[in-house]
Amino acid sequence: MSNPKHDKGEHYLTTPKAEPFLERLIFNNRAVILVAFTLLTLFLGYNAIKIQPDASFERMIPLEHPYIVNMLEHRDDLENLGNFVRIAVESKEGDIFTQEYMETLKQITDEVFYLNGVDRSGLKSLWTSNVRWVEVTEQGFQGGTVIPDGYDGSRDSLEQLRQNVLRSNEVGRLISDNFNSTIVYAPLYETNPETGEALDYGEFSRQLEEKIREKYEEQNPNIEIHIVGFAKKVGDLIEGIGSIAWFAGITILLTTLLLFWYSRSVTGTLVPVFTSIIAVFLQLGTLRLLGYGLDPYSVLVPFLVFAIGISHGVQIVNAMAVEAAKGFDAVTAARLAFRALYIPGMLALISDAFGFLTLFFIEIDVIRDLAVAAGIGVAFVILTNLVLHVLIMSYIGISKGGVRHVQNHGEKQDRKWRVLSYFSHPGVAPISLLIAVIGLGLGLYYKQNLKIGDLDQGAPELRADSRYNKDNAYIINNYSTSADVLVVMVKTPEEQCTQYNVLRAMDTLQWELQNTPGVQSSVSLADVSKVVTKALNEGNWKWYEISRNQTIINASIREAPAGLINTDCSLTPVLVFLEDHKAETLETVVERVEVFAANNSTDEHRFLLAAGNAGVESATNEVISGAKDKMLMLVYGVVSLLCFVTFRSIRAVLCIVIPLGLTSILCEAIMSVSGIGIKVATLPVIALGVGIGVDYGIYIYSKLEKYLLEGKTLQEAYYETLRSTGKAVMFTGVTLGLGVVTWIFSPIKFQADMGFLLFFMFLWNMVGAIWLLPALARFLLRPDQMVAKARAAK
Q: What is the pLDDT of residues 96-114, one digit of tens each?
A: 999 999 999 999 999 999 8
Binned at pLDDT 50, 70 and 90, residue 790 comes out as low
Q: Minimum mean pLDDT among 141-145, 644-648, 650-654, 739-743: which range? A: 141-145
Between 300 and 522, residue with greater pLDDT: 522
Q: Which of 334, 280, 351 is nearest to 310 (CA)?
A: 280
Q: Which of 486, 114, 175 is nearest to 123 (CA)?
A: 114
- Inform me whether the pLDDT recorded for 57 exceeds 70: no
Can you give the pTM of this predicted structure?
Answer: 0.76
- Three-class SS state of 134: strand
67, 609 Cβ separation under 8 angstroms: yes
Binned at pLDDT 50, 70 and 90, residue 15 comes out as very low
pLDDT score recorded for residue 5: 40
Residues 343-366 have pLDDT tens digits of 787 887 887 787 777 787 788 888
pLDDT score recorded for residue 691: 73
CA-CA-CA-CA torsion sign (204, 208, 214, 215): positive
pLDDT over 70 percentage in the chain: 92
Residue 86 has what DSSP assignment? E
360, 373 Cβ separation under 8 angstroms: no
Q: Report the C-alpha gap between 573 and 76 in whole angstroms.
A: 13
Q: Which of 156, 157, 83, 81 is nearest to 126 (CA)?
A: 157
Q: Report the C-alpha gap between 602 and 486 in whole angstroms.
A: 22
- Inform me whether the pLDDT recorded for 635 exceeds 80: yes
pLDDT score recorded for residue 413: 58
Number of other residues whose CB lies within 10 A of the CB of residue 522: 24
Residues 193-215 have pLDDT tens digits of 666 777 788 888 889 999 999 99
pLDDT score recorded for residue 638: 83
Residue 610 preceded by cis peptide, ω within 30: yes
Q: What is the mean pLDDT of residues 134-152?
A: 75
Q: Report the C-alpha gap between 83 and 502 in whole angstroms.
A: 28
CB contact set of 311 (below 8 Å; sequence gap of 6+): 695, 731, 732, 733, 735, 736
Q: What is the mean pLDDT of residues 543-550?
A: 86
pLDDT score recorded for residue 225: 94
Q: Minimum mean pLDDT among 3-7, 555-559, 593-597: which range? A: 3-7
Q: Report the C-alpha gap between 144 and 147 in whole angstroms.
A: 8
Binned at pLDDT 50, 70 and 90, residue 374 comes out as confident
Burial state string for 122-159 with b = 16 or more CB within 10 A and e = fewer than 16: bbbbbbbeebbbbebeeeeeeeebbbbeebeeeeebbe
Q: Minimum mean pLDDT among 48-57, 213-222, 613-622, 645-654: which range? A: 48-57
Provide the residue type at 181 as one letter. S
Q: What is the mean pLDDT of residues 460-474?
A: 85
Binned at pLDDT 50, 70 and 90, residue 443 comes out as very high
459, 234 Cβ separation under 8 angstroms: no
pLDDT score recorded for residue 215: 92
CB contact set of 276 (below 8 Å; sequence gap of 6+): 305, 306, 307, 308, 309, 310, 313, 381, 384
Binned at pLDDT 50, 70 and 90, residue 286 comes out as very high
- Inform me whether the pLDDT recorded for 425 exceeds 50: yes
pLDDT score recorded for residue 193: 66
Between 659 and 5, residue with greater pLDDT: 659
- Inform me whether the pLDDT recorded for 38 exceeds 70: yes
Q: Report the C-alpha gap between 26 and 387 in whole angstroms.
A: 7
The gap from C-alpha 577 to its chain's centroid, in whole angstroms, comes to 26
- Inform me whether the pLDDT recorded for 19 exceeds 70: no
pLDDT score recorded for residue 261: 84
Q: Report the C-alpha gap between 408 and 423 in whole angstroms.
A: 26
Q: Minimum mean pLDDT among 72-81, 233-242, 588-597: which range? A: 72-81
Residues 686-717 have pLDDT tens digits of 777 777 778 788 888 888 888 888 878 888 88
Q: In whole angstroms, how far apart are CA 762 and each of 197, 409, 691, 752?
A: 40, 27, 10, 15
- Inform me whether the pLDDT recorded for 266 exceeds 70: yes
Between 456 and 606, residue with greater pLDDT: 606
- Inform me whether the pLDDT recorded for 769 exceeds 80: yes
Q: Report the C-alpha gap between 412 and 434 in whole angstroms.
A: 31
Q: What is the mean pLDDT of residues 590-600?
A: 91
Binned at pLDDT 50, 70 and 90, residue 315 comes out as confident
Provide the strand spans (E) within 188-248: 223-229
483, 490 Cβ separation under 8 angstroms: no
Residues 299-311 have pLDDT tens digits of 778 878 888 888 7
pLDDT over 90 percentage in the chain: 18
Binned at pLDDT 50, 70 and 90, residue 329 comes out as confident
Burial state string for 66-90 with b = 16 or more CB within 10 A and e = fewer than 16: ebbebbeebeebbbbbbbbbbbbbb
317, 395 Cβ separation under 8 angstroms: no
Provide the residue type at 9 as one letter. G
Q: Report the C-alpha gap between 296 and 44 in whole angstroms.
A: 22
Q: Report the C-alpha gap between 325 and 270 in whole angstroms.
A: 20
The gap from C-alpha 101 to its chain's centroid, in whole angstroms, comes to 41
Provide the residue type at 369 as one letter. D
pLDDT score recorded for residue 625: 83
Q: What is the mean pLDDT of residues 449-458?
A: 78
Strands 223-229 and 484-491: unpaired
Q: Report the C-alpha gap between 249 and 253 in whole angstroms.
A: 6
Side-chain half-sphere exposure of 339, counting CA atoms within 13 A:
24
Angle ∠(266,385,655) on CA atoms, nearest 5: 110
Provide the residue type at 262 as one letter. Y
Q: What is the mean pLDDT of residues 643-661?
A: 88
Provide the strand spans (E) within 458-614: 484-491, 519-523, 571-578, 606-611
For helices 155-166 and 99-113, angle between their N-to-C axes, nearest 10 degrees: 60
Q: Minimum mean pLDDT among 144-148, 392-396, 636-640, 677-681: which range? A: 677-681
Binned at pLDDT 50, 70 and 90, residue 793 comes out as low
pLDDT score recorded for residue 284: 92
Q: Report the C-alpha gap between 235 and 748 in whole angstroms.
A: 12
CB contact set of 470 (below 8 Å; sequence gap of 6+): 226
Phi and psi angles of residue 224, each rounded to the nearest 5 degrees, phi first: -130, 135
pLDDT score recorded for residue 595: 92
Q: Dmax over Cα atoms in the chain, in whole Å?
A: 114
E strand or H helix at 129 = none
E strand or H helix at 140 = strand 140-145
Q: What is the DSSP string of 652-678?
A: HHHHHHHHHHHHHHHHHHHHHHHT--B
204, 117 Cβ separation under 8 angstroms: yes
Binned at pLDDT 50, 70 and 90, residue 16 comes out as very low
Strands 132-137 and 140-145: antiparallel
Q: Minimum mean pLDDT among 7-21, 265-279, 697-711, 751-765: which range? A: 7-21
Q: Please state whether 13 falls in left (phi above 0), alpha (psi between -120 and 50) or beta.
A: beta
- Inform me whether the pLDDT recorded for 609 exceeds 80: yes
Highest average pLDDT, of 59-63, 496-500, 540-544, 742-746, comes from 496-500
Provide the residue type at 97 as one letter. F
Q: What is the mean pLDDT of residues 5-28?
A: 56
576, 492 Cβ separation under 8 angstroms: no
pLDDT score recorded for residue 180: 92
560, 488 Cβ separation under 8 angstroms: no
Phi and psi angles of residue 8, each rounded to the nearest 5 degrees, phi first: -60, -30
- Inform me whether the pLDDT recorded for 436 exceeds 90: yes
CB contact set of 115 (below 8 Å; sequence gap of 6+): 186, 204, 207, 208, 211
Q: Minimum mean pLDDT among 138-142, 587-591, 726-730: which range? A: 138-142
Burial class (CB in 10 A: 0-12, 13-18, 19+), 437: exposed
Q: Which of 63, 61, 58, 69 is nearest to 610 (CA)?
A: 69
Q: How does the average pLDDT of the chain come out, rounded?
A: 83
Q: Report the C-alpha gap between 783 and 349 in whole angstroms.
A: 28
The gap from C-alpha 646 to its chain's centroid, in whole angstroms, comes to 32
Q: What is the mean pLDDT of residues 147-171?
A: 87
Q: What is the mean pLDDT of residues 468-485?
A: 83
Binned at pLDDT 50, 70 and 90, residue 372 comes out as confident
